[in-house]
Structure 1
Amino acid sequence: MLYPIIALLVGFIILVWSADRFVIGAAGTAKNFGMSPMLIGLTVVSFGTSAPEILVSVMASTTGAGSLAVGNALGSNIANIGLVLGITALVAPLPVKSKVLKQEIPLLLAITFLAGGVLYDLYLGRIDSVILILSLIACLFLFTRFQRNASDEDLTDEEEELPELPTSWAIFWLIIGLLLLAGSSRLLVWGATEIATTLGVSELIIGLTIVAIGTSLPELAASVASALKGHTDIALGNIVGSNIFNIAAVMAVPGLIAPIELESIVLLRDYGMTLGLTLLLALLALVQKPPKISRVEGGLLVTAYAGYLALLYNMSI
C-alpha cells in the first residue's frame, strides 16, 4: 500500500500548488483582457478555488468511482463549515456582513435544499446534474446583481488583489496549472481508491474524509492566513461561495459523466450533516448582535465535525 499512499500525498501537494497557479494565471489573463476585478472575483477566482474538487470529481467519475466524487462534494462542504470556518473562528471571531447574512447564506440554504431534492431518489443522473448546473448559472446571475446593488464600501472590501503578470506569463500559468490540476487529481483518485480497496473501506468514505479534507486545504490555509492578518470580514463569504460551487458544480459532474445510484446512507447521514451544518451556520450568524461567529461557536463547529468523523469511523468498522 506504500505506492498508493505516496500517490495520495504527492497528489495533494501538487493539487494545492497547481490550484494556486491556475487561479493566478486565470485571473491575470482575465485582467489583461479587460475584465473588471469584481467580475474576476465572482467567476474566475470562485471557480479556481473549487477547481481541485471539480477536477477530482471528473477523474473519479471517468474511472468508475462516482461515489467518491459525490463524497468529495458533500464532504468538502462539511469540512468547509465544520473544519475551515471552525478553526478560523478559533483564531479570530468572524464578523458576518449583512450582505452575506441577507443574500449569500439564504442562497446557500436554497442550493442545499435543492441538492436534497435531487438526491432524494438516491439516483444522480443527467437531468439532476443539469438542474444543479442551471442553479449555478442562476447563482452567478444573482451574485452579479448583488454586486451591482452593493455599496462602495462593500465593493472596496471585497475587491480581489489581482496579480500583475504579462499576458504571456499569465497564459503560461493558466495552462500549466490546469494540466497539473488534471494530473494530480488523477493521481490522488488512484491513490485514494487503491487505499479504499486495500483497507476494505468504501470509496464514499474516502471521498468524505481524506479527499474532502485534502481538497479543502487551500480554503483552510487562506482563511487562517487572512484571520492572522486581521482580514476576517471576507472569510465567511468565501466559504459560502465555495460551498455553493461544490453543490452546484462539483456534485453535478458525476451525473453528467456517469450517472450513479447512491446508498440511502448518503442521504440520511452525509447530506443530512451537510444540511445540518449549513442550518447551524445560519443560526449561529443570527445569534449575536452584531452578527459574528465567535470562538465558542467556532469550537462548536469543530466539535460537530469531529463527531461526524467519529460516526464515519464507527460505521466503517
Structure 2
Amino acid sequence: MLSTTIWFIVGLTALIGGAELLVRSSSSLAVRYGISKLIVGLTVVSFGTSAPELGVSIQAGFSGNTDLLLGNIVGSNISNTLLILGIAALILPLKVNVKLIRIDVPVMIGVTILLYFFALSGVIYFWESLILVILLVVYLIFLIRENKHSDVEADIEKLPTSTPVLIITGIIGLLMLVFGARWLVDSAVIFAEMAGISELVIGLTVVSIGTSLPEIVTAVIAAVKGERDIAVGNVVGSNILNILVVLGVTGLIIPTSIPVQPSLVRFDLLILIAASFACLPIFFTRHRIDRFEGFVFLIMYIAYVLYLFLYSTDHDLLGAYSNTMIFFVLPLVAVTILSIFWREWKRRRRFYLAAKHRNEEADS
C-alpha cells in the first residue's frame, strides 16, 4: 500500500512537472522561430493544463483501462466546473468575460452534449474521435480570427535562450509526462483493486482531481491575485480541450474503440451536462460568480463525490440518498439557478424599458 501511494504521488508530480516543462520549452521555441505569441497562447499554452489528462488517457487507453480513460475526462470536467470554480469564487467573487459567455460557454455546453450523444451507443468510435479533432481545428481557427486584433499574449516565462537546451528541456518534459502517466495509471488500478472500487470511480475522483491540479492552482492563484476572469477562462477552456483534444486525440491513436460504461451515461455525463448548463445563467448574472453561487457549486461537488462513494461501496444509504438528491436537492438547485436568471432578466428588462422611455422623451 505504501509503495503504491509513493508511486502514485511520484507519477502525479512527474506528470504535472513534465507538462510544465514541455509547454514552456515548446512555447519559447515557437516564439524564437517567429510564431506569434497569440498563436502560441491559443495552442501550446492552452493545451498545457490539459496535458496531464491527455497523458493519463493515452496511457490508460493503450493499457486497456478505458474506464479510467473516460472517468478521468468526465471527472476532470466535473471537478473543473463545480470544485475549482466553487473554491475560487469563495476566495473572491469571479469576473466573467462577456466573450466567454457569448462564445466559449456555449461551445463547452455543445461539445459536452455531443459527447453524451456519442456515448449513448455504448462505444466511442474512431470516426467520432475524428469529429472531435475536426471540431478542435475549427474552434482554434475561430479563436485566432476572433482574437487577431487583441493584445492577448502567451504567459511565457524566460527559459535558457540556447535552442539545444530548450530541445533537451522539452524532451525531459515529454519523458516525465509519459512515465508519470504510466506510474499514475498503474497505481490507480492497484488502488481500485485493493479497495474493491471500480476503475471508473477512481478515474472520476482521485485521478481526475490529480490531473486537474494545474487548473486548481491556476484558478486559486488568479483569484487571490484578483485576476478573476483568468480563473473562469482557464476552467472553461480546459473543459473544451479535455473533450476535443484529450478524448479526440486518444480515440484516434489507441488501437481500439472506447467502451462506455452504462453508469457513465445514466449519471455522470448527466451531472456534467447539468453543471455546464448551470454556468450559463450564473455567468450571465452581472457577469460574475458570487460567493453564494460558488458555495452552491462546491456543495454540488461534495454531494456528487458522496454519491460515488455510496455507489461504489453499495452502501445501504444509497437508495435514500439517491432519492433525496433526485427529488429534493437537484430540483432545489435548479430552482435557485433559474430564480437567479429570472431576477437578472427582469432587472435588465427594466433597465432597457427605462432607457427606451428616456430616448422617446428626448426625441419628443
Q: TM-score, normalised by structure 2?
A: 0.82
Q: Answer yes or no: is 1:61 the counterpart of 2:61.
A: yes
Q: Give per-residue Cα distances to partners, 1:190-213, cap 9 Å, x unaligned.
A: 000011111111111111000000
Q: Is the 8 A contact 1:126 1:255 kept in 2?
A: yes
Return 5+ residue gaps in structure 2 as ranges: 314-364
Distance in 2 separating the partners of 1:138 and 1:82: 27
Q: How far did residue 255 of structure 1 move? A: 3.3
Distance in 1 separating the partners of 2:120 and 2:140: 25
Q: Answer yes or no: is 1:43 the counterpart of 2:43.
A: yes
Q: Is the 8 A contact 1:19 1:52 kept in 2?
A: yes
SS in 2 for 1:6: helix
Counterpart in the other structure of 1:278: 276
5 Å-filtered alignment, 1:143-162, equals 143-148=143-148, 155-156=150-151, 158-162=152-156
Q: How far did residue 273 of structure 1 move? A: 1.1
Distance in 2 separating the partners of 1:35 and 1:13: 30
Q: Answer yes or no: is 1:163 the counterpart of 2:157.
A: yes
Q: Is the 8 A contact 2:55 2:181 kept in 1?
A: yes
Q: Answer yes or no: is 1:261 the counterpart of 2:259.
A: yes
Counterpart in the other structure of 2:89: 89
Counterpart in the other structure of 2:223: 227
Letter in 1 for 2:179: G
Q: How far did residue 261 of structure 1 move? A: 2.3
Q: Is the 8 A contact 2:108 2:239 kept in 1?
A: yes
Counterpart in the other structure of 2:9: 9
Aligned residues between the structures = 309
Distance in 1 separating the partners of 2:109 and 2:129: 18
Distance in 1 separating the partners of 2:90 and 2:170: 34
Q: Is the 8 A contact 2:129 2:249 kept in 1?
A: yes
Letter in 2 for 1:213: I
Q: Answer yes or no: is 1:212 the counterpart of 2:201.
A: no
Distance in 2 separating the partners of 1:93 and 1:172: 41
Q: For the structure 1 residues 121 and 76, does the alpha-carbon distance in structure 2 shift closer, same or farther, using more than 3 Å as the test?
A: same
SS in 1 for 2:80: helix
Q: Is the 8 A contact 2:72 2:204 kept in 1?
A: yes
Letter in 1 for 2:100: V
Q: Answer yes or no: is 1:184 the counterpart of 2:172.
A: no
Q: Is the 8 A contact 2:96 2:228 kept in 1?
A: no
Distance in 2 separating the partners of 1:238 and 1:246: 12
Letter in 1 for 2:181: S
Counterpart in the other structure of 1:294: 290
Which structure ranks higher in relative contact order (CA pairs < 8 Å, sequence separation ≥ 6)? 1
Distance in 1 separating the partners of 2:145 and 2:180: 36
Question: How large is the Cα RMSD of the aligned pairs?
Answer: 1.3
Identity fraction in percent = 38
Q: How far did residue 164 of structure 1 move? A: 2.6
Q: Answer yes or no: is 1:312 the counterpart of 2:347.
A: no
SS in 1 for 2:64: coil
Q: Is the 8 A contact 1:57 1:253 kept in 2?
A: no
Letter in 2 for 1:163: E
Q: Is the 8 A contact 2:31 2:37 kept in 1?
A: yes
Distance in 1 separating the partners of 2:92 and 2:146: 27
Q: How far did residue 267 of structure 1 move? A: 0.8
List structure 1 segments (4+ residues) > 4 angstroms apart after TM superposition: none
Work out which of the two has the higher radius of gyration on C-alpha atoms and give 1 or 2.
Answer: 2
Q: How far did residue 21 of structure 1 move? A: 1.3
Letter in 1 for 2:242: N
Q: How far did residue 254 of structure 1 move? A: 4.9
Q: Is the 8 A contact 2:115 2:243 kept in 1?
A: yes
Distance in 1 separating the partners of 2:143 and 2:271: 26
Q: Is the 8 A contact 1:90 1:298 kept in 2?
A: yes
SS in 1 for 2:147: helix
Distance in 2 separating the partners of 1:26 and 1:13: 20
SS in 1 for 2:61: helix
Q: How far did residue 239 of structure 1 move? A: 1.2
